[in-house]
Structure 1
Amino acid sequence: MRIGVYPGTFDPITLGHMDIIRRGAKLVDELVIGVTTNISKSPMFGDDERIDMVRREVAQIDGNIRVVGFNSLLMDFAQREGARVIVRGLRAVADFEYEYQMAGMNQQLNDNIETVFLMADVGLQPIASRLVKEIAIFGGDIRKFVSPSVREAVVERIEERGMRQGDTKS
């Protein structure tokens, strides 16, 4: 059985992530979505919230897909899951430079696991979770970038935490 891992923070999961998940699921017998916390980022949603959000979103996708949280080196996680492939999405040249370096380091850690890069759909390439959050915090419309349920969760979190910035309409 070919197992692949698609890791990320998914804070929040975007339509770009969903595109890579749909396409990645076709390449392997089982796709494990590894939800992790990147220590260099400040997540809007907690680990369990992000895992639940991703599970709800991928439930509609055909294929053998599992969502698992992890807090370890990616290659250790992939090995524990029995993966032979790491799936990574690319949006732009800047992504490639970072991902190329990471793939090289990961290969040094475990050369039995290959990294496969998928280009995001051209219409989804500019989408980044960080930018989605920023747009939402400033009151912008994020409907083009996330599903309706994710949009609702983001807006609700911003309101809960009083994070709204910029001019507010009265």
Structure 2
Amino acid sequence: MKRIALYPGSFDPMTFGHLDILEQSLSLADEVVVAIGVHPGKTPLFSFDERVEMIEEACLEAFGADEADRIRCISFTGLVIETAREEGAKILVRGLRDSTDLNYEMQMAGMNGTLAPEVKTVFLPSSPPMRPITATLVRQIAKMNGNYAPFVPQCVVKRLKDRVAS
């Protein structure tokens, strides 16, 4: 039976922190579904299609074609746990940077475990150099004309430069 993991988030934009958790996820599952949250009330910096392109390009560059082929992207608007069920995922991947993340994610894992006991939440710790990276901070640095290149793949650097210049 194929082991499917769901890795939800906004990925707006894709960061090296996301790649770190994706790489770890590939060691746990045969397929990793990157579930990009699309919320009608929020205006992301990048469209869903742009985020998919960045994720696919970054994964191909970081992992090579064989590993990148094990990753696919979808959108979701409802509950993460329902999306996991719909995709046949038995693993829900959550990255942890610090104790603040842990406290929040433990609550979510408890709720998700009640709603779908067959889907197990797996916490993956960020590698130490990746812990300070968040997409929110990357967006802020970009909007303030700072150097965000150390935090995102090259394909994202180009798109961010174009987006904040317009």
TM-score by length of 1: 0.88
Cα RMSD between the aligned structures? 1.5
CA distance in 2, matches of 1:41, 1:103: 24
User: What 5-or-longer segments of structure 2 have no aligned partner?
Assistant: none
- 1:29-44 to structure 2, matched below 5 A, reads 29-38=30-39, 42-44=43-45
Tell me the CA shift for residue 151 of structure 1: 1.0
- Answer with 3-12 or 69-78: which moved more: 69-78
Is the CA contact (8 Å cut-off) linking 1:87 and 1:118 kept in structure 2?
Answer: yes
| 1:31-65 deviation line (CA, Å, top 9, x unaligned) | 11111125675411112211222122122425321
Task: Give the AA of the match of 2:133.
Answer: I
1:99 to 85, 105, 117: 105
Q: What's 2:27 paired with?
A: 26
- Whether 2:145 is the aligned partner of 1:131: answer no
Does the C-alpha gap of structure 1 residues 80 and 118 become closer, same or farther in structure 2, counting only changes over 3 Å?
A: same
Task: Give the AA of the match of 1:159.
Answer: A
Higher normalized contact order (CA 8 Å, seq sep 6+, divided by chain length): 2
Is the CA contact (8 Å cut-off) linking 1:4 and 1:87 kept in structure 2?
Answer: yes
Q: What's 1:11 paired with?
A: 12
Task: Give the AA of the match of 1:6.
Answer: Y
Tell me the CA shift for residue 152 of structure 1: 1.2
Q: Name the structure where helix makes up a greater proportion of residues.
A: 2
- Whether 2:149 is the aligned partner of 1:146: answer no
Task: Give the AA of the match of 1:84.
Answer: K
SS in 1 for 2:58: helix
Q: What's 1:84 paired with?
A: 90
TM-score by length of 2: 0.91
Does the C-alpha gap of structure 1 residues 145 and 40 become closer, same or farther in structure 2, counting only changes over 3 Å?
A: farther
CA distance in 1, matches of 2:43, 2:114: 28
SS in 1 for 2:151: coil
Q: What's 1:166 paired with?
A: none
2:80 to 74, 82, 87: 74
- Answer with 39-48 or 5-14: which moved more: 39-48
| 1:129-166 deviation line (CA, Å, top 9, x unaligned) | 00001011111101110011101111211111xxxxxx
CA distance in 2, matches of 1:6, 1:111: 17
Does the C-alpha gap of structure 1 residues 84 and 95 become closer, same or farther in structure 2, counting only changes over 3 Å?
A: same
Q: What's 2:3 paired with?
A: 2
Aligned length: 160
Among the aligned pairs, what percent are the same residue? 39
